[in-house]
């Protein structure tokens, strides 16, 4: 069961999230330092065109276009108010096994929802292209 694999729990811990911020474009003089980003649940997921993309490991919300004065915790709560990780009242280390299992269940729901939405987008795009091909064929344009 994936739940018991180390990887499934790795990002619950601050130090592991912090390690992802190598190359983060904001430093100590900013509000969105790597430390504050990691504390707010974010991991650094840069792309070639966007070096400041960060994603909550838990709810999978991606944010980019960070400004030096942005507060990571506030931005996270604003853009993903239902994220249960950012709403935690305890440190991960202080959670009971039952609480961890409940959290992981919610995280799995987020992962499934994101995967389903991505699959639906791909399906809709493929259907749109196929519809265009059918119309061209019907009009004798091919």
Q: Answer yes or no: CATH 1.10.1170.10 is held by domain 2-138.
A: yes
Q: How far apart are CA 63 and CA 79, in angstroms?
A: 8
Q: Over the stretch 35-67, which tens digit does the pLDDT of each residue have?
A: 999 999 999 999 989 999 999 999 999 999 999
Q: In a 10 Å sphere around its CB, with 0-12 CB exposed, 13-18 middle and 19+ buried, how is residue 40 labelled?
A: buried
Q: Is the pLDDT of residue 142 over 90?
A: no
- As a whole-number percent, the residues of the chain with pLDDT over 70 amount to 94
Instruction: Give the chain's end-to-end CA distance (angstroms, integer).
Output: 51
**What's the pTM?**
0.78
R_g (Cα) of the chain, nearest Å: 20
At 27 the pLDDT is: 83
Q: Is the pLDDT of residue 3 over 50?
A: no
List CB contacts of 11: < 8 A, sequence separation 6 or more.
17, 43, 57, 58
Average pLDDT, the chain: 90
Contact between 11 and 18 under an 8 Å Cβ cutoff? The reply is no
Q: Is the pLDDT of residue 1 over 50?
A: no
CB count in 10 Å sphere of residue 44:
21
Domain residue extents for the chain: 2-138
Q: Smallest Cα–Cα separation from 40: which of 8, 15, 77, 68? A: 77
Q: How far apart are CA 17 and CA 14, in angstroms?
A: 5
- Residue 68: what are its φ and ψ, rounded to 5°? -55, -30
The more confident residue out of 141 and 33 is 33
Q: Is the pLDDT of residue 109 over 60?
A: yes
- Residue 91: what are its φ and ψ, rounded to 5°? -75, 150
CB count in 10 Å sphere of residue 83:
21
- As a whole-number percent, the residues of the chain with pLDDT over 90 amount to 73
Mean pLDDT value across residues 88-107: 89
């Amino acid at each position: 069961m994936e739940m018991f694999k180390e990887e499934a729990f790795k990002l619950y811990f601050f130090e592991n999230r912090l390690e992802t911020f190598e190359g983060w474009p904001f430093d100590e003089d900013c509000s969105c330092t790597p430390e504050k980003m990691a504390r707010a649940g974010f991991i650094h997921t840069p792309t070639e065109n966007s070096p400041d993309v960060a994603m909550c490991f838990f709810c999978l919300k991606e944010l980019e276009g960070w400004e030096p004065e942005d507060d990571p915790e506030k931005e996270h709560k604003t853009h993903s108010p239902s994220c249960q990780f950012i709403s935690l009242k305890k440190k991960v280390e202080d959670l009971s096994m039952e609480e961890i299992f409940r959290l992981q269940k919610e995280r799995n729901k987020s992962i499934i929802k994101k995967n389903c939405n991505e699959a639906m987008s791909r399906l809709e795009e493929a259907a749109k292209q196929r519809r265009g091909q059918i119309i061209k064929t019907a009009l004798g344009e091919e």
